[in-house]
Chains A and B, each alone.
Chain A
Amino acid sequence: MADYDDIPTLKENIDRATVDSVRSLDVDKYKYGFETDIESDMAPKGLSEDTVRFISAKKNEPQWMLDWRLEAYARWLTMTEPNWAKVHYPKIDLQDMYFYAAPKSTPAPTSLDEVDPELLKMYDKLGIPLKEREILAGVERPKVAVDAVMDSVSVVTTFREELSKVGIIFCSISEAIREYPELVQKYLASVVPVSDNYYATLNCAVFTDGSFVYIPKGVRCPMELSTYFRINEKKTGQFERTLIIAEADSYVSYLEGCTAPMRDENQLHAAVVELVALENAEIKYSTVQNWYPGDKDGKGGIYNFVTKRGDCRGDNSKISWTQVETGSAITWKYPSCILRGDGSRGEFYSIAISNGYQQVDSGTKMIHLGKNTSSRIIAKGIAAGFSDNTYRGQVSAHAKAKNARNFTQCDSLLIGDKCGAHTVPYIESRNGTAVFEHEATTSKISDDQMFYCAQRGLDEEEAVALIVNGFVRDVLQHLPMEFMVETQKLISISLEGSVG
């Protein structure tokens, strides 16, 4: 198998091209000064204390929140970007970026005729209704768009009414900061500390959007909570902040993202997601991420640097992450669990697909602190084209974590011989009673398998889709039912053109 490193010139060209396309996005077309203008919809370009103040003011935030952000910003100035992930990308010039309402590089399309036909083909295959396609593709036809937004707003309102009957809070993080300051102050950055890592600290200073969920004691959330509507309502920000709190004996299942590819002008995404599960509570967090991976030459995709962490704070609590990653030019994310409560359990089920020139570095951390804690990791990486796919996982047991148990299964599937898959497990046990098991496999779709499938009538794409869906079966079944079928379709589509 050829490793990505074997083709440096090609890779440099891609990096170059990505830089160029990012440059052309901002620099030439918009020349704004540095004065702070609250009335403007745009923050001044670049990052400074002024940018942070502007964002906080725009969000009508209380003083404590502004102070918190400024402190994070001061901290961030002392930090350096991590470089240990196995991803390569040109340096991102933060002073050349907009942190609030970035201007569009090109005028928004006014009809679907002006939208990238490849994107439309994909919507078609996913069976997305016309109206939604327009919104996803960013078509600005005020009438239609407004109607659709109204639709989703009213759906959300109905939702929220039903939820509030049982005491559940589901709103934007900005709203929570204004309406539920005690909860936010108590839990924000209690899982991912402000100084956790370069991107997380940056997020603290400049986050603009995200969700807040609060499930009261003993309540089982009656429906799947989804960001889907909220994203339709408004373009997702590049620095999202999500906070989910499950009080004792409660349960919630939360779904982030959607299978449709989102066009987005923002190149860098650095979200922070924090989950807190108290005694006996369970949080299921599923992500289907399908951001624009860049065109077939690797140009213009999104960089996704995310910090996701769950804290099993109470005894016998449970947090389970399920993710399907098919998008982004570069993905760097490690949804993790801190198993603090005795008998708590963490799970991580992941499907990471890379094609074209995508680079994925993803995995999880299971930190066993409490007694009798257990964790389970099933990671399936699929690499096609010229892509590079790394699983990076850490499992550790603290001295007090008696009888900690982990099972890790890590499988890679390679399609073609120009891609790479890597497994980097770190295992650390300071406890003689801990039992950690790790299994890893790497396989290829063989010519014999392709020929066998062809002999039964399947064309190459059908054969690859069938084999890949078989490969990810154990993870797929952990997704909420209604997303399983969609995800299967998405997997086939993501791998189109990967053979032959």
Chain B
Amino acid sequence: MTTPILEIRNLHARIEDREILKGVNLIIPPGEVHAVMGRNGSGKSTLSYVLAGKEDYEITDGEVLLDGENLLDMEPHERAAAGLFLAFQYPIEIPGVATMTFLKAAINSQRKARGEGELSTPDFMRAVKTAGTELNIDTDMLKRPLNVGFSGGEKKRAEVLQMALLQPKMCILDETDSGLDIDALQVVSKGVNALRNGNRSMLVITHYQRLLNHIVPDVVHVFSDGRIVESGDKDLALQLEAKGYADFDGAAA
């Protein structure tokens, strides 16, 4: 059997005194796209932060393997270099740092961490240009400080641009559809779909079914009160849309 790209076993996490993740189990084999759907406040973003290593959370139980390696032992920047990428629900502004400069710094520190040489400036420029064109990102936008004054759509496109350039093994997209109009949604989805391949896995978090019309998942999970309560194929998303989350609440209790 091939090693899953992501394997989460009985993951429990709390913030301050409140348990948010209450036993998450999830296995994503190479090349598969899994969607996690759940209502606001069910703990989806928490799951993505815990996987990326945000320090506010205490992990009280469970295990996470990224391509067979113990993820929870790694520092956040090591997880990134190991191939974990999180497209943030709310991307953070980095004033004064041109998007281009940020991209180059990120790529090169990941390469360094993996023992690879720095990307030459022409190679870098070529890669940015190719990926940027796909996402309607022009040079002007790349000169602006990262996420500062970006519209909702620009922020999400910039996230996908970073994902395209960093070539992660495991992509987590947290509410990438939020704040996007239909045109922007199409551009972003096209960008994401272009990155799908047999080795790269994705975890697409959303609470609207509409994103999944564009990024069609292999598996859909329903998330409720800190755990996965139901899994199925893409039709599960349509069922959810029709019936609402109420039917699934407490299903695993």
Task: State the A residues within 8 Å of B (CB).
Answer: 443, 446-449, 451-460, 462, 466-467, 469-473
Cβ-defined contact, A454 with B92, below 8 A: no
Which of B54, B96, B105 is in CB contact (< 8 Å) with A458?
B105
- B77 at interface (Cβ–Cβ under 8 A)? yes
Given contacts A452-B88, A466-B102, A470-B145, contact A457 B109 (CB under 8 A): yes
A and B contact pairs by CB, cutoff 8 A, 19 listed:
A449-B92, A451-B54, A452-B91, A453-B77, A454-B77, A455-B76, A455-B79, A455-B85, A455-B88, A456-B80, A456-B110, A457-B80, A457-B107, A457-B110, A458-B105, A459-B109, A469-B97, A471-B95, A471-B96
Closest to A449 in B: B92
Chain B residues with CB under 8 Å of A471's CB are: 95-96
Cβ-defined contact, A454 with B76, below 8 A: yes
Cβ-defined contact, B96 with A456, below 8 A: no
- B6 at interface (Cβ–Cβ under 8 A)? no
Min CB distance A411 to B, Å, is 10
Given contacts A451-B76, A466-B101, contact A457 B106 (CB under 8 A): yes
- B53 at interface (Cβ–Cβ under 8 A)? yes
Of the candidates A452, A462, A470, A472, the one having the most CB atoms from chain B within 10 angstroms of its own CB is A452
- B205 at interface (Cβ–Cβ under 8 A)? no
Closest to B106 in A: A456
Cβ-defined contact, A470 with B94, below 8 A: yes
Chain A residues with CB under 8 Å of B105's CB are: 458, 462, 466
The 10 A-B residue pairs whose C-beta atoms are closest, nearest first, are A470-B96, A470-B97, A454-B76, A457-B110, A456-B106, A452-B92, A457-B80, A454-B77, A457-B109, A459-B77
Cβ-defined contact, B92 with A448, below 8 A: yes
Cβ-defined contact, B86 with A455, below 8 A: yes
Cβ-defined contact, B96 with A473, below 8 A: yes
- B235 at interface (Cβ–Cβ under 8 A)? no
Closest to B148 in A: A470
A456 to B110, CA, bound (A): 8
Of the candidates B81, B93, B106, B166, the one having the most CB atoms from chain A within 10 angstroms of its own CB is B106
A455 to B49, CA, bound (A): 10
Task: State the B residues within 8 Å of A (CB).
Answer: 52-55, 75-77, 79-81, 85-86, 88, 91-98, 101-102, 105-107, 109-110, 113, 145, 162, 166
Chain B residues with CB under 8 Å of A472's CB are: 96
Min CB distance A491 to B, Å, is 12
- Total inter-chain residue pairs, C-beta < 8 Å: 79
Chain B residues with CB under 8 Å of A447's CB are: 55
Chain A residues with CB under 8 Å of B91's CB are: 452
Closest to A452 in B: B92
Chain B residues with CB under 8 Å of A470's CB are: 94-98, 101, 145
Given contacts A451-B76, A452-B88, contact A458 B109 (CB under 8 A): yes
Min CB distance B140 to A, Å, is 17
A466 to B98, CA, bound (A): 10
Chain B residues with CB under 8 Å of A456's CB are: 80, 102, 106, 110, 162, 166
Which of A452, A457, A460 is in CB contact (< 8 Å) with B94?
A452
Chain B residues with CB under 8 Å of A467's CB are: 94, 96-97
Which of B55, B85, B109 is in CB contact (< 8 Å) with A451?
B55
Closest to A456 in B: B106
Chain A residues with CB under 8 Å of B145's CB are: 470
Min CB distance B11 to A, Å, is 19
Interface of A is mostly: helix
Cβ-defined contact, B102 with A457, below 8 A: no
Chain B residues with CB under 8 Å of A443's CB are: 95
Closest to B76 in A: A454
A453 to B146, CA, bound (A): 11
With A443-B95, A457-B80, A467-B97 given, name 7 new contacts (CB 8 A). Answer: A451-B55, A454-B53, A459-B75, A462-B109, A466-B94, A466-B102, A470-B96
A198 to B146, CA, bound (A): 47
Closest to B98 in A: A470
A328 to B97, CA, bound (A): 28
Closest to B80 in A: A457
Closest to B105 in A: A466
Min CB distance B58 to A, Å, is 16
Of the candidates B75, B96, B97, B110, the one having the most CB atoms from chain A within 10 angstroms of its own CB is B96
Closest to B82 in A: A457
A469 to B104, CA, bound (A): 14
A404 to B18, CA, bound (A): 60
A453 to B106, CA, bound (A): 8
Which of A446, A457, A462 is in CB contact (< 8 Å) with B166?
A457
Which of B52, B97, B102 is in CB contact (< 8 Å) with A455?
B52
Of the candidates A454, A460, A473, the one having the most CB atoms from chain B within 10 angstroms of its own CB is A454
Min CB distance B8 to A, Å, is 18
Chain B residues with CB under 8 Å of A457's CB are: 77, 80-81, 106-107, 109-110, 113, 166
A447 to B76, CA, bound (A): 13
Closest to B52 in A: A455
A470 to B77, CA, bound (A): 20
Min CB distance B49 to A, Å, is 8
Chain B residues with CB under 8 Å of A449's CB are: 92-94
Chain A residues with CB under 8 Å of B86's CB are: 455
Chain B residues with CB under 8 Å of A448's CB are: 92
Min CB distance A216 to B, Å, is 41
Closest to B145 in A: A470
Chain A residues with CB under 8 Å of B98's CB are: 470
A457 to B95, CA, bound (A): 18
Min CB distance B129 to A, Å, is 20
A305 to B91, CA, bound (A): 44
Chain A residues with CB under 8 Å of B88's CB are: 452, 455
A451 to B86, CA, bound (A): 11
A457 to B52, CA, bound (A): 11
Chain A residues with CB under 8 Å of B81's CB are: 457
A469 to B92, CA, bound (A): 17
A498 to B101, CA, bound (A): 22
Min CB distance A429 to B, Å, is 31
Cβ-defined contact, B52 with A453, below 8 A: no
Chain B residues with CB under 8 Å of A452's CB are: 88, 91-92, 94
Chain B residues with CB under 8 Å of A451's CB are: 52, 54-55, 76, 92
A311 to B97, CA, bound (A): 36
Of the candidates B54, B76, B145, the one having the most CB atoms from chain A within 10 angstroms of its own CB is B76
Min CB distance B12 to A, Å, is 21
Chain A residues with CB under 8 Å of B93's CB are: 449
A218 to B164, CA, bound (A): 55
